[in-house]
Amino acid sequence: MLILGIETSCDETSAAVVEETGDAARPWTIRSNVVASQVPIHREWGGVVPELASRQHIRDICGVVERALGDARTRWTDLGAVAVTQGPGLVGSLLVGVAFAKAAAAAAHLPLVAVHHLAGHIESLVLQNGELPLPAVVLVVSGGHTSLYLVERPGGYQLLSRTRDDAAGEAYDKVAKLLGLGYPGGPVVDRLAAKGHDRAVALPTTRLTHADRNAPALKGDLDFSFSGLKTAVARYVAGKKGYDPFSEQEIADICASFQRIVVTSLLDRLFDAARRHQARSIGIAGGVSANSRLRAELQERGGRREIPTFLPSLPLSTDNAAMIAAAGLRKFRAGILAPADLNADASLPL
């Protein structure tokens, strides 16, 4: 069976065709995965402007879907279902994908599947690597989210912890802005960090030990926090005002020092959670999983502790519709379909 996936939750318009293989260990293959990025539009404003994002999705969605079907040599009549990101994300952006998917499913007489964006990121690991040894602990880390999930059975996602404030990707973007490095910040900070000394600037690490009043069901001691780190970088940068601007080396040192703290705090909690839940594998997905230090240290720590670790390929790390199609197939096979009056939900829980 073939499924069409549609993703418009933030600033990429994406459509993909994914095929079921019939092989339980490697359940899906990608036929096409088209991503129209809006980065050049938002770069001018230093971050995503929601109103501009939704307007651009409207312009791009038809062409992106046609291209995904064309690349996959697939006609509407070859499809078995349509999957779409229902949330979380920017509501105006989500609405474009949801409205398009509902109309397309109705016109082509296809079942509709509603997908949680983070379920898509988690399934990007399976799309890339095949089914993970379970139970698995998966960190989803992007511009909007930093959350740890326990996966005990395929398609079951139990939230273990999340950030109390900024997402890790958001911290990257804010630090890049402070240093005048442009948007998005992750890739450029990652690149500059390679040339810096990672202990040159003393920055604070956070470890939360108390429960969160806003999430009484979670213990809280595996929660993340990045806003203090961002503020520490802001103070460090402000302290320099009035003197000469930072040299290239100083900027690289700040990037490296910041990156060391982010990567360490992500991996400490991830491996801590894996130990507590006796996980048989570990995964990292989402835009920040493209980070070179995070990828290298994950593999290094996994090797030391003799636990298999998994990552998506770089194109599957950032937002894309193939991962939504994969998560959609999982739900379709579980018999969970969306109603014809499906609505977008900006803060959809998983």
Nearest residue (CB) to ligand KG4, 161 versus 318:
318
**Are residues 107 and 313 in contact, defined by beta-carbon separation less than 8 angstroms?**
no
Alpha-carbon span 260 to 237, nearest angstrom: 18
| Smallest separation, CB 291 to ligand KG4 (Å) | 3
Residue 262: half-sphere exposure toward Cβ, Cα within 13 Å = 35
Q: Which is nearer to ligand KG4, 92 or 169 (CB)?
A: 169
Nearest-approach distance from CB 314 to ligand KG4, in angstroms: 9
Name the minimum Å distance from CB 204 to ligand KG4.
Answer: 19
Residues with Cβ within 8 Å of 227's Cβ and at least 6 positions away in sequence, in order, are 165, 166, 171
- The b-or-e profile of 309-344 (16+ CB within 10 A means b, else e) is bbbbeeebbbbbbbbbbbbbbbbbeeeeebeeebeb
Smallest distance from the beta carbon of 241 to ligand KG4, in angstroms? Answer: 26
Residue 123 or 319 with smaller CB distance to Zn ion: 319
Q: Which is closer to ligand KG4, CB of 62 or CB of 296?
A: 296
User: Which option in Zn ion, ligand KG4, none does residue 318 bind, with CB closer than 5 to 8 A by kind?
Assistant: ligand KG4
Binding site for ligand KG4 (CB under 6 A): 10, 142-144, 169, 172-173, 184-187, 190, 286-288, 290-291, 318-319
Phi/psi at 335 (5° precision)? 80, 20
Q: Which is nearer to ligand KG4, 74 or 299 (CB)?
A: 299
The site for Zn ion (CB under 5 A) is made up of 142, 319
Instruction: Give the other-Cβ count within 10 Å of 305's Cβ.
Output: 12
CB of 347 to Zn ion, least distance (A): 15
Distances (CA, A) of 211 to 145, 150, 207: 19, 19, 12
47 binds, among Zn ion, ligand KG4, none (CB under 5 to 8 A by kind): none
